[in-house]
C-alpha cells in the first residue's frame, strides 16, 4: 500500500476542496470513492479529513469566500521564501503565508496565467497519508494558455524539470523531480472555450466507466470521456454536484 509519511520539497502533498455545500460534497465523494470522514474542529467551522484506512486522502471544507474548486498543495521547506519567489516570478499571492494552527504553514497563489496553487510547510501534518492507490490522488495537472511561460515559472519556483511529448492531437508536458513524474501540463485549445487556467487532480479508480456512471447517478456531471490515453491508461473529466472539476484515472496495467 502506498502510505506516505513525509514529503520532500516540490512534491504535491495535499488536496483540498472548497465548496458551498460540504455536507453534499462529503456524501458525493464518500459514495464515489469509498472515503470515510474525520471531522476536525477549526475556528469558525469544521475541517473534514476524507480518509481510507484511517489515513487522509483529501480534505473538504465549507468556504463561501472561495471558488468551488479543488486546490492542490506543494511541499516546501519555507512557505515565506517560496511566497516571496512567487511574487518575484510574476505570480500573485491570494492568501499570504500564515499558520494553520499546529498543522503547518501555508500560502495560496496564482501563477501569471491565473491558475491557483498552494504552498505547504508541514509541522504536525506533513501531508496526505495515502497516494497512488484506488480512491486516492494519482496525478495533478495544469491547464494553461501559455505552456512556455508556465514552464519558466514552475521550474524556477520549485526546481522541477520537464519532459514534453507530442502525439497526433496535442503536446503534453510532464513535471519531474529527478526521474519521477509528479504531474502534467497541457495547452488550453481554442475549441475548449472558456476552460480556465487551473490545476486539477486525478483520483485513481478501478473502473473509469463505472465510476463515471456512478458520479452521474450521484448528481455529478461527465464532461469528457471515459477516454483511453495510449500506453498510459483511461480517464474521465467530471464535476461534482456543486461544480468542482476533477479527473478519474485507471493506469494501464
Residues 161-186 have a mean pLDDT of 90
Q: Cα(245)–Cα(225) distance, rounded to whole angstroms? A: 14
What pLDDT was estimated at residue 144?
A: 96
What pLDDT was estimated at residue 235?
A: 95
Q: pTM of the full predicted structure?
A: 0.95
pLDDT at 15 over 60: yes
Q: Which of 122, 153, 183 is a domain's end point?
A: 122
Q: Which of 96, 122, 148 is a domain's end point?
A: 122
pLDDT, tens only, 113-124: 999 999 999 999
Cβ atoms of 240 and 249 closer than 8 Å: no
Q: Cα(131)–Cα(128) distance, rounded to whole angstroms? A: 7
First vs last Cα of the chain: how many Å apart? 17
> How many domains is the chain partitioned into structurally?
2
What pLDDT was estimated at residue 65?
A: 84
Residues 237-250 have a mean pLDDT of 97
Residue found by looking up cell 529527478 in the block: 178
What pLDDT was estimated at residue 187?
A: 93
Residue found by looking up cell 496525478 in the block: 139
Beta strand 55-62 with 12-19 is: parallel
Clarify whether residues 141 and 76 are in a common domain.
no
User: Would residue 238 count as lying in a domain?
Assistant: yes
H-assigned helices in 15-135: 22-33, 79-88
Residues 247-253 have a mean pLDDT of 91
Q: Residue 98's domain spans which residues?
A: 12-122
Percent above pLDDT 70 for the chain: 99
Q: Cα(24)–Cα(151) distance, rounded to whole angstroms? A: 37
Amino acid at each position: 500500500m502506498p502510505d506516505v509519511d513525509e514529503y520532500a520539497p516540490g512534491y504535491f502533498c495535499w488536496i483540498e476542496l472548497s465548496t458551498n455545500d460540504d455536507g453534499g460534497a462529503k456524501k458525493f465523494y464518500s459514495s464515489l470513492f469509498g472515503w470515510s470522514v474525520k471531522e476536525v474542529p477549526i475556528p469558525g467551522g469544521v475541517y473534514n479529513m476524507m480518509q481510507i484506512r484511517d489515513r487522509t486522502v483529501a480534505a473538504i471544507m465549507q468556504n463561501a469566500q472561495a471558488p468551488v474548486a479543488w486546490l492542490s498543495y506543494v511541499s516546501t521547506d519555507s512557505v515565506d521564501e517560496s511566497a516571496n519567489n512567487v511574487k518575484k516570478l510574476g505570480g500573485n499571492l491570494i492568501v499570504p503565508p500564515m499558520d494553520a494552527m499546529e498543522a503547518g504553514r501555508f500560502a495560496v497563489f496564482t501563477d501569471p496565467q491565473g491558475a491557483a496553487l498552494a504552498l505547504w510547510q508541514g509541522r504536525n501534518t506533513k501531508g496526505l497519508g495515502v497516494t497512488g492507490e484506488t480512491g486516492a490522488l494519482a496525478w495533478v495537472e495544469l491547464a494553461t494558455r501559455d505552456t512556455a511561460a508556465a514552464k519558466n515559472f514552475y521550474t524556477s519556483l520549485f526546481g522541477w524539470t520537464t519532459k514534453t511529448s507530442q502525439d497526433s492531437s496535442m503536446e503534453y508536458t510532464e513535471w519531474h523531480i529527478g526521474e519521477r513524474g509528479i504531474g502534467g501540463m497541457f495547452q488550453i485549445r481554442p475549441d475548449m472555450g472558456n476552460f480556465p487556467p487551473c490545476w486539477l487532480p486525478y483520483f485513481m479508480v478501478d473502473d473509469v466507466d463505472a465510476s463515471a456512471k456512478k458520479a452521474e447517478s450521484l448528481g455529478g456531471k461527465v464532461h469528457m470521456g471515459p477516454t483511453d490515453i495510449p500506453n498510459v491508461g483511461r480517464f474521465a473529466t467530471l464535476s461534482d454536484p456543486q461544480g468542482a472539476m476533477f479527473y478519474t484515472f485507471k493506469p494501464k496495467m
